[in-house]
Amino acid sequence: MTARHFKDTVYEYFSRIGKATSSPKRLEILDILCQGEKSVEEIARNAQLDVKNASAHLKVLHAARLVASRREGKRVYYAVADATVADYWMRTRTIAEQRFAEIERTAKCFFTDREIMVTLDRQALLGKARRGEVVVLDVRPHSEYEQGHLPYARSVPLAELERQMATLPRNKQIVAYCRGPYCVLSAEATDMLKERGFRAVRLADGVLEWRAAGGPIASGPAFGG
């Protein structure tokens, strides 16, 4: 084996990671899968893709071995291959944020007037949540909540928010979080809540960011309902 052939071979492997992460839609899928495993149909719906196209993108991610799949009955469930993939996705996002100030500007523009909870004092938030001084809402689907959520958080998927509003306190601050700083679910939730006169703010952290910052993660089914 010549030196040139060796280099071509190994660098081709290195480049596969880049190829897999070179499509916005594939990154969106990866971000969703970082919240827990999902069927192709769920992935397609969440990433706003048609199922065939989502399947094709998943094939590419699978070829780069960033995701793994398992069949259960009729459905095929995909998940990130391991925790290092979620870590890599967060690092890719960070590198992009550092390079493109436009990202923060776009996010600020989109999240205008949707107060962002300072993510600096995670311990303080945790304490308030424990003492019941604030209500922490996890507005992702129940399945994602079950696969890992913030301590003391209550699972209220966006679709159920309308129905559950009566059970929320009007005198306490409501802190909504979702999949992370670029997920729109919590923003939609705080919009709905504020329209109805609740005191609601958006937490930029998702489970991934919270855990990466050293915060504790709970798991298991939703309590109450």
Residues within the interface to its own copies (CB under 8 A):
1, 3-4, 6-28, 48, 64-66, 81, 84-85, 88, 91-93, 95-96, 98-100, 102-103, 106-107, 109-110, 182, 184, 187-188
Position 215, amino acid = G
User: Which backbone phi and psi does 205 adopt, to 5 degrees?
Assistant: -60, 140
Find all residues with CB under 8 Å of 221, minimum gap 6, and list them: 142, 146
User: Which backbone phi and psi does 219 adopt, to 5 degrees?
Assistant: -150, 170
Is 109 catalytic? The answer is no
Q: Please, what is the Cα angle at 185 between 113 and 111, to 5 degrees?
A: 20
Residue 56 binding DNA, by CB under 7 A: yes
Residue 61 binding DNA, by CB under 7 A: no
Residue 50 binding DNA, by CB under 7 A: yes
Among 26, 140, 154, 202, binds DNA (CB under 7 A): 26
Determine the Cα–Cα distance for residues 67 and 81; give it in Å rounded to an integer: 4
Q: Report what 71 binds from its own copies, DNA, none; CB cut-off 5-8 Å by kind.
A: DNA
For the bound state, the minimum distance from the C-beta of residue 16 to DNA, rounded and expressed in Å, comes to: 9
Residue 81 binding DNA, by CB under 7 A: no
Find all residues with CB under 8 Å of 188, minimum gap 6, and list them: 139, 158
Q: Which helix (H) or strand (E) holds 135?
A: strand 134-138
Question: Which part of the chain contacts DNA (CB under 7 A), choosing from 71-79, 115-123, 142-150, 211-219?
Answer: 71-79
115 by DSSP, 3-state: which? coil
Under the rule (CB under 7 A), what is the footprint of DNA?
Answer: 19, 22-23, 25-26, 39-41, 49-53, 55-60, 69, 71, 73-76
